[in-house]
Structure 1
């Protein structure tokens, strides 16, 4: 077997898998920053080339998406600098602000995903109560009438369910950073 026939080292496989999994998120991120899907595709390709060139710098076990996103951010800044004379290209300050907003939106999406997991873990009566209150927008009084319980009992049950959800989400955040 020659060197060319050898299988890639496991760390390269991890890198390839991580890069593949990151493509859609990177494209969304870049598109949000530049507002032009065609330019975003070009920037993504440049980002991918740079990621491959820097593959040996990536440490398995660290957050690949954060590393790749930072490289994409600098590629967007380079694009904006190169296109700076075009009045349709965002400036550095706006790109930085948009980047922060996109990261906040990703954090919200991640947290909502954790909340959905935790909702599934609630007891069915608590899940039903939460759904009636927040999905159907029932007031405490309406819940009291519908479920035949006092308003204070409904408030207490909602409080316990919300606390259980919060504790679950916080545990998940620690387990899935």
Structure 2
């Protein structure tokens, strides 16, 4: 009998996915917020990202690369969402989205997600003034 007891391989996949996803969900949400700047949009795209991550989880070879893999999927989901809202005058340029995504995923950012959200919210409120 294996160490897994009566758990099937599918159960292990679910447990692994849930553990990786919940560990990284806040970072992933903060990443989306830097690209979308709107809580409702982030929620919508996050739901899509979550679904795609689960559907493609079997393709992830190295669980230690989950977050970077999730960032790539999130970036493509943002682009798909952006195309859907192409008429909106506040949509970021596609090149800017790629630049922001690469910068964020490069580990060069030193602020934690909550600090980034606070700074971005402050900037957005200044733009509205």
Name the residue aligned to 1:107.
Answer: 108
Candidates 49, 52, 57, aligned match of 1:50: 52
Q: CA deviation at 1:41?
A: 1.1
SS at match of 2:108: helix
State the 1:11 CA deviation: 4.1
Contact 2:68 2:105 in 1 (8 A): no
1:25 matched to 2:37? The reply is no
Higher relative contact order (CA 8 A, sep 6+): 2
Q: Is the 8 A contact 1:11 1:60 kept in 2?
A: no
Alpha-carbon separation, structure 2, partners of 1:8 and 1:41: 32
Bigger Rg, which one: 1
Task: Give the 3 Å change call, closer, same or farther, for CA 102–82 of structure 1 in structure 2.
Answer: same
> Conserved in 2, the CA contact under 8 Å of 1:51 and 1:71?
yes
Moved over 4 A (4+): none
- Partner Cα separation in structure 2 for residue 70 and residue 62 of structure 1: 15
Question: Which of 72, 80, 83 is matched with 1:81 structurally?
Answer: 83
- Inter-partner Cα distance in structure 2 for 1:97 and 1:86: 20
Gaps of 5+ in 2: 1-5, 112-129
Q: How big is the shift at 1:20? A: 1.1
The equivalent residue for 1:97 is: 99
Shift of 1:8: 4.4
Q: Which runs of 5+ in 1 are unaligned?
A: 1-5, 111-177
1:7 aligns with 2:7: yes
